[in-house]
Structure 1
Amino acid sequence: MGDVIRFAPKSGLNVSQAAQRQGMDEAIFGKQTESADVPPTKVSFGPFCLLPTRLLLLEGDKVVPLGSRAMEILIALLERSGELVSKQDLMARVWPNLFVDPSNLTINMSALRRALRDGRDGRRFIVNIPGRGYRFVGSVDVSGDDN
């Protein structure tokens, strides 16, 4: 297995902030904007490519449908690839300032694993450390510019 490469969005990517930014860009520029000069950071693992600034997960050239909470879980795990991310940290990240039942984390983690086909055909991306949290164990490659 290769070296672990870490990435961290400059401002700590937040799904609601990203949606607000997109709405503001559309209001200001009249259309959705993309910077042709600066490609977004790409995080590749297995057959997947995550474009975190666009909240987009691709498998090859196909979009992988993933809810916003599952996407936020994936981003949090990839940011700390190879490290244990506690259930408490994930809950605070995905549902900030809200009290939600821990089963919400389990449900969204299941959706994420299903989308990644984790555990099938010899694929393993996410492992559960019972009672403690989760760890992203797949090989990760980060490319592009994170500006």
Structure 2
Amino acid sequence: MRSISAFGRLEQFHPEPRLDTGHTVQGPVSTRPFVSQRAASAGVTPADVSFGPFRLHPTQLLLLEGDKPVCLGSRALEILIALLERRGELVSKQDLMARVWPNVFVEPANLTVHMSALRRALRDGRDGHRFIVNIPGRGYCFVGRVDELSANGEAL
């Protein structure tokens, strides 16, 4: 893609390498770094992740509460998956935005809106559930207990 700069010359557009999140035209790469060291060493890949009353099928972008699908948009699900992949770690707002909106400029308010929808769907902070904490000005951290499950639903 070529564009004309303010100075009138043609410049080649090169996306920043740090914004490459493995997404292709067909969609996200199916292999996600969800596997714990223990599961990786056993050669087993967990199909699902559970936390609280929720179960996430990351390859299908599907979140269930019990047996019922949770109505949540794909951007909010991508945020959840990114936080679960790095659970217990601070994930910066910039990292989340680069993951969820690769190679696209969006306002930080977009992240806030989708994070709010995610927290509302998880009922975060209510009924004793605490999954996501915000470090003001820095990012978010998934703090809930997470169980990795094999394809048949057994804990790894």
- Scaled by the length of structure 2, the TM-score of the pair is 0.69
Unmatched 5+ residue regions in structure 1?
1-11, 22-37
Over alpha carbons, which structure has the higher Rg? 2
TM-fit CA distance, 1:121 = 1.1
Separation in structure 2 between the aligned mates of residue 112 and residue 88 of structure 1, nearest angstrom: 18
- Scaled by the length of structure 1, the TM-score of the pair is 0.73
Q: Which portions of structure 1, spanning 4 or more consecutive aligned residues, are displaced by more than 6 angstroms?
A: none
Q: Check the 8 A contact 1:15/1:72 in 2, yes or no.
A: no
Q: Which has the higher helix share?
A: 1
Separation in structure 1 between the aligned mates of residue 109 and residue 90 of structure 2, nearest angstrom: 19
Unmatched 5+ residue regions in structure 2?
1-20, 31-43, 152-156
TM-fit CA distance, 1:110 = 0.1
Query: Structure 1 residues 50 and 15, CA, compared in 2 at 3 Å: closer, same or farther?
Result: farther
Residue matched to 2:66: 60
Q: Which has the higher strand share?
A: 2
> Percent same amino acid among aligned pairs?
74
Structure 2 residue matching 1:44: 3-state secondary structure? strand
Residue matched to 1:85: 91
Does 2:124 correspond to 1:115?
Answer: no
Structure with bigger RCO (C-alpha 8 Å, 6+ apart): 1
Q: Check the 8 A contact 1:72/1:94 in 2, yes or no.
A: yes
Query: Structure 1 residues 140 and 107, CA, compared in 2 at 3 Å: closer, same or farther?
Result: same
